[in-house]
Amino acid sequence: MGYAQHIVEATQEIFSSMIMLDAAPGKPYQRECELLVNSISGIIGLAGSTKGLLAIHLPAQTALTVTTAFLGMDVEEIDEDVRDAVGELANMLGGSLKSVLDPSGSDIQLSLPSVIHGEGYSVDCLANAETVTVPFSVGSHNFMVELQMRQEK
């Protein structure tokens, strides 16, 4: 099974079991690390036998919709609750991916989640890394889950 399919399955499991939303996947592609506009990103670093990152990038309006469903309360601006929720989404995605890449749990270390939010920012692409990005839609909203990874020798 390819990494894109793992991302699809992990994302759909998280959204269906904990957020009660249906995340419909689109066609995987290679993101060009272009500027992310008015968005929020949750990022988990991978270290050890595999280096890289796993990130979820949500436009601000998507993040508000997802956090409202996640917490069961209305959220109207990108505040600490939204940042924390997006970080936790990244954390769960990282954990799911790690369980596939490293079943014993001792070869790959996950960082604590980092969260970036702004009008315009970019997430750099790791050199010589295998990358895949899967777009998703939740109702009329969209988001992306991105994996960049490189096996260490």
Partner 1 sequence: MGKTVLIVDDSNTMRKIVSRALRQAGIDFDTILEAGDGQEALAVLGANKVDVVLSDINMPNMTGLEFLKAKSEDDAIKDIPVVMISTETGADIIDEAKSYGAKGAIKKPFTPELINETLGALL
Spatial separation of the C-alpha atoms in residues 125 and 102, rounded to whole Å: 23
User: Helix (H) and strand (E) counts for the chain?
Assistant: 3, 7
24 makes contact with partner 1 (CB under 8 A):
no
- Give the containing element (helix H, strand E) for 70: helix 60-71
Q: Is 93:99 a contact under the CB 8 Å cutoff?
A: no
Give the x/- contact pattern for partner 1 in 86-115, rule: CB under 8 A.
-xx--xx-xxx-xx--xxxxx---x-x---
Contact residue for partner 1 among 4, 5, 9, 13 (CB under 8 A) = 13
DSSP β-bridge partners for residue 144: 57, 135
Residue closer to partner 1 (CB basis): 105 or 139: 105
Residues found near partner 1 in the complex (CB under 8 A): 13-14, 17-18, 70-72, 80-81, 84-85, 87-88, 91-92, 94-96, 98-99, 102-106, 110, 112
